[in-house]
Amino acid sequence: MEHLIFYKKETDLRHSVEKHKFSYTRAYTMIFTKTTKSLGQELVKYPKALLYYFCDTLNDEDRISINNILSRFEDIKICLCTNSKHSLQAWKLNVFDFKEHPIDNQKLQESYRKLLYAEGGDIRAFKIKTNQGLFTIPFKSVNYLKADGNYTKLGLIKDKSLIETKQLQFYDFCCENDPNMKRIHRSYILNFRNIKRVTTDQVFFYNSEKSIKISQTLASKIKRTLLSK
Q: pLDDT tens, 130-175?
A: 777 788 899 999 999 999 999 999 999 999 999 999 999 999 888 8
pLDDT in tens, 60-113: 999 999 999 999 999 999 999 999 999 999 999 999 999 999 998 889 988 998
According to CATH, where is 2.40.50.1020 located in the chain?
135-226
Sign of CA dihedral 23, 32, 95, 97: positive
User: Per the omega criterion (within 30 degrees of 0), is the bond before 47 cis?
Assistant: no
What CATH number labels 2-118? 3.40.50.2300
Pick the CATH number of 135-226 from 1.20.140.10, 1.10.490.10, 1.10.30.50, 2.40.50.1020: 2.40.50.1020
Is the entire prediction scored with pTM above 0.85?
Answer: no
Contacts of 56 (CB under 8 A, 6+ apart): 82, 83, 101
